[in-house]
Amino acid sequence: MFEYRETLGINFDPSHLIWQGMDPAMFLYDFADRVYHVHIKDAAVNLNGRNGILGSHITFGDPRRGWNFVSPGHGDVDFDKIIRILNVKGYDGPLSVEWEDSGMDRIFGGTEACAFTKKINFLPSDIAFDDALKTK
Count of domains for the chain:
1
Give residue 131's pLDDT: 74
Q: What is the mean pLDDT of residues 116-130?
A: 89
If pLDDT is split at 50, 70 and 90, which confidence band does 69 have? Answer: very high
Kindly state whether residue 90 falls inside one of the protein's structural domains.
yes
Considering the chain, what is the average pLDDT of its residues? 91
**Could you tell me where the beta strands, DSSP code E, fall in 1-136?**
10-12, 35-40, 42-45, 67-70, 95-97
Share of the chain above pLDDT 90, in %: 71
Domain of 36 in residue numbering reads as: 8-17+24-122
Kindly state whether residue 50 falls inside one of the protein's structural domains.
yes
Give residue 1's pLDDT: 60
Kindly state whether residue 130 falls inside one of the protein's structural domains.
no
Reported as a single tens digit per residue, the pLDDT across 86-113 is: 999 999 999 999 999 999 999 999 999 9
